[in-house]
Amino acid sequence: MNPTITAFATSPDRGRGLARDMRVRWALEEVGQPYEVRLLAFEAMKEPAHLALHPFGQIPTYEEGDLTLFESGSIIFHIAERHAGLLPRDPNARARAITWMFAALSTVEPPILDLSVAKFQEGDKSWAEQRLPLVKDRIRRCLAQLSRRLGDADWLEGDFSAGDLMMVAVLLRLKASGILDEFPSLSAYVARGEARPAYKRAFAAQLAVFTAASTGA
């Protein structure tokens, strides 16, 4: 039986692939695992049926037989562990790829999320104008370090891995801010991720949800 994931019935990003079901879809496409999607309205995400799957009432979740997971990092790690293609076989190379998944989620993503909060949730506060440059500089510092480590390589550790998938997914959130353009090697890195056939299939699938919702199809 195919796994089922959850996604927004109407994504606030208007199908730009920024909601976190996108990274799970991408991982499933990379390993060639077909999947089902259960679409949820915001209200349904806070109801007991969904809270039983996700204690924080969010998407994505992942159901496979009697296994239910939440947290995109854990879901992608599970997919990468169960299928070939997203983690190297060599134990040390595998550990390094997993390290990059953690780096994406716990070092690179937090300042990027801070930027969204500073702009969209705190933008009307009296101190917002002072805070925004500080938040942006924290992102720049992190990207400078990441770009130094990537150097001229295509991917972070040899071949494309779940570490790259997660890092690209995290960096994509920055595209609209213009900050990514300040780091040409990282822009090219993200573009390489977006050019992967699996990424394109996942992107098209989540966009189709938004298109259908907005045209009433």
* Residue 137 burial class via C-beta count within 10 angstroms: exposed 0-12, middle 13-18, buried 19 and up: exposed
User: Tokens 């295509």 — which residue?
Assistant: 154
Residue span binding ligand GTB (CB under 6 A) among the ranges 18-26, 77-85, 144-152, 206-214: 18-26
Rg (CA), the chain: 18
Size of the site for ligand GTB (CB under 6 A): 13
- Ranked by CB distance to ligand GTB, the top (closest) residue is 58
Residue window 31-50: x/- pattern of binding to ligand GTB, with contact defined by CB under 6 A: --------------x-----
**88 vs 166, beta carbon nearer ligand GTB:** 166
Give yes or no for a contact between 198 and 29, defined as CB atoms under 8 angstroms apart: yes
Residue in 58, 100, 162, 170 binding ligand GTB, rule: CB under 6 A: 58
194 lines the binding site for ligand GTB (CB under 6 A): no
Residue in 4, 9, 10, 13 binding ligand GTB, rule: CB under 6 A: 13
**53 vs 88, beta carbon nearer ligand GTB:** 53
- CA–CA separation, 145 vs 114, rounded Å? 18
User: What amino acid is encoded at 53 in this protein?
Assistant: L
**136 vs 173, beta carbon nearer ligand GTB:** 173
6 lines the binding site for ligand GTB (CB under 6 A): no
28 lines the binding site for ligand GTB (CB under 6 A): no
Query: Residue 91 Cβ, how far from ligand GTB at the closest point, in Å?
Result: 26
Secondary structure letter of residue 188 according to DSSP: H
63 lines the binding site for ligand GTB (CB under 6 A): no
Cis peptide before 91 (omega within 30 of 0): no
133 lines the binding site for ligand GTB (CB under 6 A): no
Q: Which residues contact 113 (CB under 8 A, 6 or more apart)?
A: 173
- CA–CA separation, 160 vs 176, rounded Å? 25
12 lines the binding site for ligand GTB (CB under 6 A): yes
Secondary structure letter of residue 206 according to DSSP: H
Give yes or no for a contact between 33 and 79, defined as CB atoms under 8 angstroms apart: yes
**12 vs 184, beta carbon nearer ligand GTB:** 12
Using DSSP's 3-state secondary structure scheme, residue 143 falls into helix
Query: Residue 53 Cβ, how far from ligand GTB at the closest point, in Å?
Result: 12
Which spans of this chain sit near ligand GTB (rule: CB under 6 A)? Answer: 12-13, 18-20, 45, 57-60, 71-73
